[in-house]
Amino acid sequence: MTTMAADAGAYEAVFDAALAADERIEPRDWMPDDYRASLVRQMAQHAHSEIIGMQPEANWITRAPSLRRKAILMAKVQDEAGHGLYLYSAAETLGTSRDELLDKLHSGRQKYSSIFNYPTLTWADMGAIGWLVDGAAITNQVPLCRCSYGPYARAMVRICKEESFHQRQGYELLLALSQGTEAQHAMAQDAVDRWWWPSLMMFGPPDDASAHSAQSMAWKIKRHSNDELRQRFVDICVPQAESLGLTLPDPDLRWNEERGHHDFGAIDWSEFHEVLRGNGPCNTQRISQRRRAHEEGAWVREAAAAYAAKHGEEQA
Amino acid sequence: MTAALALGDDALVLSHRLGEWAGHAPVLEEEVALANIALDLLGQARVLLSLAGDEDELAYLREERAFRNVQLVEQPNGDFAHTIARQLCFSTYQELLYERLARGGGPFAPLAAKAVKEVAYHRDHAEHWTLRLGDGTADSHERMRTALEALWRFTGELFEPVEGCEVEWDTLHADWLDRLTSVLKRATLEVPEGPRRGAWAAGAGRQGVHTESFGRMLAEMQHLHRSHPGATW
């Protein structure tokens, strides 16, 4: 064995021991290349989801039906931009710049959550996104607060607090609609009917078909399987839907006494894969708006850089 | 309450325009900053409109001719330079006005005292970008120059006395021009020489005469609310 190989072995033993002891891995610690790559992939996808996810909600800012709701929605979209910032910064601790990651998003080499490839067609979608999409995101993300990589775990603590606020606001928006006029109630039910199945798909493919799951669990980046989290989410939503006075669009949904969980119908994975392949209703629109904003903003970023170079200040 | 409507509509309309940037900003930090300014303005609008009546009825059920905002704030976003030029002109004005209202002890003093801290940040943000764009690249300089030229004719109206605001409008105007001149100079830009108001109706926003794009803005803003009369949200 060469000295270098012996060193790498010793480093790996330290890394493995830290994982085993549930200690955090920090940016300066040694880590396997695949662990680093896997984290960058996951954090980038998460950051991209935050900034693409601004679009379907920004779609309703200018039409929000009361000033109170407008303020809540604007603040929510602003929080998403903020989450994007924390997550790109967390990814930078692994040596990958925001520019590099944005470039990968714009060229389609990195993905964002497929849920944002669905359109927001009515105001009630703002409620359904908050309740279901943010609800599913929280179910996925709360365990990430204990993820093995320190900067990611810490970013997630703050993000989860804000997400749970968004989830409650979405629920409250839907409740107001559900208890409002007949037309408002119908709008709320229609939104839940459209967003329910895509929300269940947010947990990713079933465990036996999930490409990255096993390794991520071993590295303690991921703490629970896709199917476990999906089941947890369904169990949380069923009583909430009842309180809302809305139904979930699944005839097979029922309590299973033996399992202590709700059974639910089969998910149409062909739809999931189609959307993932780029054939969802808004894939082209979302990415082209993102690219356009970036391209149209190029002269602004160039001006800030030129000014900073002239005046020796930090680039804006 | 003429003044509550005038100041409230300024804040409401500019907030709406800034909200149109969501998802389109040139850099992620500006998504946060523009939304932040929009939210501050919306908060001010809600307090001011509530002094004049029901905030939602006023925002959603008035016709275009009943809005009392200055025409400057309803001008479309244009490129980032237009948005910054509009913000610079307005925030500089709003800060000077709110400082005076806060000192004056009238009905707007409590709101103005709180809001002036927010507005100082908006003005600072606009000044920083004016410097970067004016003194950045040849392209950004030209865009900033064009934006200032285009918006200059809407700035005269800012200093039309608003009934119910007990301030010295002449000194406010002079201070505004000083401040703007100094920032533009540092940004290597000239103070535009064009007229400060149009020959016919430009500068009549306070009387309810607006520009063409404003009607379309209101149509979008009010559509959903008006489609469900009497509903609560």
Q: At the topology level of CATH, where does B2-227 sit?
A: Ferritin (1.20.1260)
Longest C-alpha distance within chain B, in Å?
A: 53
pLDDT at A5 over 90: no
Which residues, in sequence order, are bridge partners of residue A24? none
Residues of A in contact with B14 (CB under 8 A): none
- Inter-chain touch A293–B233, beta carbons under 8 Å: no
- Inter-chain touch B232–A176, beta carbons under 8 Å: yes
Q: How far is B41 from chain A (nearest CA, A)?
A: 10
With beta carbons less than 8 A apart as the criterion, state whether A262 and A256 touch.
yes
* DSSP one-letter code for B161: P
Q: Return the sign of the alpha-carbon dihedral for residues A190, A192, A195, A197.
A: negative
- Inter-chain touch A66–B221, beta carbons under 8 Å: no
CA A149 to chain centre: 17
Q: What single letter denotes the amino acid at residue B12? A: L
Q: Quick: pLDDT tens for B32-87.
A: 999 999 999 999 999 999 999 999 999 999 999 999 999 999 999 999 999 999 99
The CA distances from residue A281 to A63, A121, A124, A249, A277, in Å, are 22, 12, 18, 20, 12
Q: How far is A62 from chain B (nearest CA, A)?
A: 5
Q: Quick: pLDDT tens for A297-312.
A: 999 999 999 999 999 8
What average pLDDT is seen over chain A?
94
3-state DSSP percent of chain B in helix, strand and coil, to 5:
70, 0, 30
Q: Other C-beta atoms within 10 Å of A249: how many? A: 14
CA B195 to chain centre: 19
pLDDT 10s per residue in chain B (233 long)?
689 999 999 999 999 999 999 999 999 999 999 999 999 999 999 999 999 999 999 999 999 999 999 999 999 999 999 999 999 999 999 999 999 999 998 899 999 999 999 999 999 999 999 999 999 999 999 999 999 999 999 999 999 999 999 999 999 999 999 999 999 999 999 999 988 876 555 568 999 999 999 999 999 999 999 999 999 99
Give the residue from A60, A63, A67 with the most B CB atoms within 10 Å of its CB, the best one to mutate.
Answer: A67
Q: Quick: pLDDT tens for A97-143.
A: 999 999 999 999 999 999 999 999 999 999 999 999 999 999 999 99
> What are phi and psi for residue B155, nearest 5 degrees?
-90, -20
According to DSSP, the β-strands at A261-263 and A254-256 are antiparallel
> What are phi and psi for residue A205, nearest 5 degrees?
-60, 160
CA–CA distance, B42 with B46 (Å, rounded to integer): 6
Segment (H or E) for B55: helix B55-61
Q: What single letter denotes the amino acid at residue A74? A: M
> What are phi and psi for residue B20, nearest 5 degrees?
-65, -15
pLDDT value, residue A222:
83
Burial class (CB in 10 A: 0-12, 13-18, 19+), A211: exposed
- Inter-chain touch A307–B232, beta carbons under 8 Å: no
Enter the pTM of the model: 0.95
Residue A315 — pLDDT band, cuts 50, 70, 90?
very low
Q: Quick: pLDDT tens for A268-302.
A: 999 999 999 999 999 999 999 999 999 999 999 99
Q: Other C-beta atoms within 10 Å of B55: how many? A: 20
Per the listing, tokens 């989860």 go with: A160
Q: How far is B199 from chain A (nearest CA, A)?
A: 32
Structure tokens belonging to residue A68: 């109170």
Give the ipTM of the model, two decimals please: 0.97
Residues of A in contact with B47 (CB under 8 A): none
